[in-house]
Amino acid sequence: MTDATPAAPLTTAEDNQWASFAHLGGIIGFIPSLIIWLVFKDRGAFTNSEAKEALNFQITIVIAYVVGSILSIVGIGLLISLAAWVVSIIFSILGFLKAKDGIAYRYPFAIRLIK
């Protein structure tokens, strides 16, 4: 029988760092936010809340990509996908810049599936 000791809580600097990385990871998709949330959610409150916020936004962007793919038949889908990509990059960078300074960032729109 192994005695698993819980991981040490994050310092404030580490908490801000991982929270900001959760936002910045949105540039390449939802996987970085998901991994950061799963690994650090119990070790830092700020990382927990910011990674959830970033993950919810990235899920929203994935939904926009799916809608864009479906509507590509009509011709407007490429425009929707391109707009989602640009918005994802801009808001991910804004979230990163706020979170690295320890300021909570809330995306202007996101389907909040993970509470």
**Residue 90: inside a domain:** yes
Domain that holds residue 93: 12-98
What secondary structure does DSSP assign to the chain, as a single string? Answer: ---PPPPPPPPHHHHHHHHHHHHHGGGT-SHHHHHHHHHHTTT-HHHHHHHHHHHHHHHHHHHHHHHHHHHTTTT-HHHHHHHHHHHHHHHHHHHHHHHTTT-----SS------
pTM above 0.75, yes or no: yes
- pLDDT by residue (tens digit) across 88-114? 999 999 999 999 999 999 999 888 888
Residue 49 CA to its chain's centroid (Å) = 10
- pLDDT by residue (tens digit) across 53-70? 999 999 999 999 999 999
- Whether 14 shows a pLDDT value over 60: the answer reads yes
What's the structural domain count of the chain? Answer: 1
pLDDT confidence of residue 3: 56
**Residue 111: inside a domain:** no
**Residue 2: inside a domain:** no
**Residue 113: inside a domain:** no
